[in-house]
Structure 1
Amino acid sequence: MDIEPDNSGFSLDLTSPNEAGDGIKNQTTNATKWINFTSAVDLNTSRKISAQLSGATLSGLDLKLGISHYSGSGAGTLGSSISSIILGDTPQTIINGIGGAYTGDGIYNGYNLIYSLEVADFSMLRNASKSFSIVFTMTDN
């Protein structure tokens, strides 16, 4: 399993309002990352991919991860994705039912990852940058 086009970081920014009484503007998304995998398993065996935050406490914010349906040049039992989750510090399944399969390599192959940052609790927001990792794990069901 890998992340395409690379596993480099990216930024999601929230912009302060220009006018008193307005909400936060420009809640951005990032949809540049793709999960590719190859899975060789025995018949009647399946795998899943989970995601979780590592090294982060996002005070007042939720990091939402949307996962597309499979697209690309692969073949086999590619599993099915959930539509979206709010990432936390415990693993959550994002793709399930993977059998013997491969997604194809590179962007536009596999499952597109769509990240967005949302305000969960305005009273907890602080003006600070947060840096953290997202850990993806493929395991047998």
Structure 2
Amino acid sequence: MKGHVDSRVYNAFVNLGFGFKVNSKLSTTGVFSVQNHNIQLKRGQSSYLLHELGHFVAALKGRADQTSEFKKIYNTEKNAYVGNNKAYVTQDAGEYFAESFRDYTENASVLKSQCPQTYNYINGLVNSISDKDVSDFYNTYGWYWN
């Protein structure tokens, strides 16, 4: 993961003590869990990991995938999404955000040209990840892990 995602995302994930593991018994391709303090993947595929990291970023930034600002962007741009598994990805703002984060990480120029508001929103979030975000997240959810 290190070197494949923005260092702020990687450092927040590591500093909060999150981990990831492969669990072939999952009924889905992956799951991000605050409570379990990890990302589980059905198999070790980078696109699945990046999607689940998108859920992590959304959570870290205060459920950024559920804000009225992002829901407006989602409703405006979801039909422009042309990536894999469009029906699943565009079913709700959370999945759209997570998959758009994967696109942002793997091929930012395509996301920027097809869904520029989505790109700008995610880019702004990633660039604003701070130590305060990490401490706020820990203060909110750390009791799960202790």
Using structure 1 for the length normalisation, give the TM-score: 0.23
Higher relative contact order (CA 8 A, sep 6+): 1
| Structure with max Cα Rg | 1
Richer in strand (by share): 1
Using structure 2 for the length normalisation, give the TM-score: 0.23
